[in-house]
Chain A
Amino acid sequence: MNCQTTKEQISQLLDNELRAEELQPMFQHLSECEECRKFFLQTKDIHDSAKTLEYITAPKVIDQKFAVLGMEQQQSFLSRKFTISVPSAIYSIGAVIVLMLFIYVSGTIQEKQIAEQYRQTMSLTMPYGASSYDRN
């Protein structure tokens, strides 16, 4: 293990990107090499401070620009929503037609049932019922 490799690994260690199997040889070298220990401390020190660097606040003018952009986008989204709603409107109309067809079909079935019941009642009440009449 040479110094160059160890220093590169120190950089990766600080980024949590060093593979587990590389840890042991790296620490072994660090325990033996003063120069790499110095590099480790200095690099870690700068890394710890750099992580605390703050953002620079964006000027307000950018907010205004974004607000205008938002309004334009709202309109384009609305028009897009309309195009999306066309197929669902077709679905809804189709569903209503099928529903009406269903009501109509079940209605005619009911009518047939009423007619059948009427026929049965008639054959019971009339001695020369519809059955004998049918035979002719």
Chain B
Amino acid sequence: MEGVATFAVLMHLNSINAQLTESVNTTPLSEISDEELVLQFRNGNLHSGSFLYSRYKNGIYSFCLRMLQDSEGAKDATQDTFVKMVTNIQSLHNGRAFKSWLFSVARNEVLMVVRRNKIVPMEQFDDETVVFDHSTPLKITMQNEMKEKIHTAMLRLKPAYREVYMLREIEGFSYEEIAVATGTTISAVKSKLFKSRVALNEMLAQYQ
């Protein structure tokens, strides 16, 4: 009788599965949370995987490009980030942490490109002693929009500060999410954000 019961349970599970798939199909993908998409993707739903890709490709590319300031390098880092997303998705157990996980992958790929292509010296990426380079002039004019001025100034922040600042202001990450994505502590994030802001105030003071 146990076999029959097992069989019945299996049949029941199948019907639940079908109901779930049906309910998912009626919800637009754009309204589905990362967590749900990750779960579906882990269970072999490639459609969910490609939706995660569409959701994050521009964010990841922008992050890589603003970190490397080299479009070829940014393209490679972005591609490799999504290769890692597909191949390592099974190792991500908490779908809610997907975004910070994906950016930590992207950050590693940026470092890989730096090491491989030697676009920027690696020391520049590790150096946390300087927030920005005072010697190079900021190439902006009064005619530039405030947003453009900020973008130019942000790119002058040293990588260790720029990544934290971008994850906060552009991606809207919490301190905890930034700490996860950049492999640091919350107090370090707090301090880096503060120093970045002081630096930006200094860089932009004459233009405000």
Contacts and interface: CB of A to CB of B under 8 A. Distances in A.
A15 B189 CA distance: 12
A62 B4 contact: no
A88 interface: yes
Contacts of B71: 59
A63 B56 CA distance: 12
A56 B6 contact: no
Contacts of A122: none
Name the interface size band of chain A.
35 or more
Contacts of B169: 47, 50-51, 53
Contacts of A42: 201, 205, 208
A17 B175 contact: yes
B190 A88 contact: no
Name the interface size band of chain B.
35 or more
Contacts of A49: 146-147, 150
B78 interface: yes
Nearest to A65: B79
Interface stretch (A20-28, A92-100, A109-117, A126-134): A92-100
A80 B59 contact: no
B82 A69 contact: yes
A70 B46 contact: yes
Contacts of A57: 58, 61
Contacts of B170: 50-51, 53, 55
Interface in A1-53: 7-8, 11-12, 15, 17, 39, 42-43, 45-47, 49-53
B7 A92 contact: yes
Contact of A102 (B4, B204, B205): B4
A7 to B, nearest CB: 7
Majority-rule SS of A interface residues: helix
Contact of B78 (A45, A62, A92): A62
A50 B196 CA distance: 12
Nearest to B8: A95
A17 B208 CA distance: 26
A99 B3 contact: yes
A91 interface: yes
Given A56-B58, A73-B49, A98-B1, 14 more contacts: A7-B198, A12-B190, A17-B174, A17-B175, A46-B150, A49-B150, A55-B61, A59-B61, A61-B75, A62-B75, A70-B49, A91-B6, A91-B7, A99-B3
Interface of B: 1-4, 6-7, 10, 44, 46, 49-50, 53, 57-62, 65-66, 71, 75, 78-79, 82-83, 86, 146-147, 150-151, 154, 165, 168-170, 172, 174-175, 190, 193-194, 197-198, 200-201, 204-205, 208
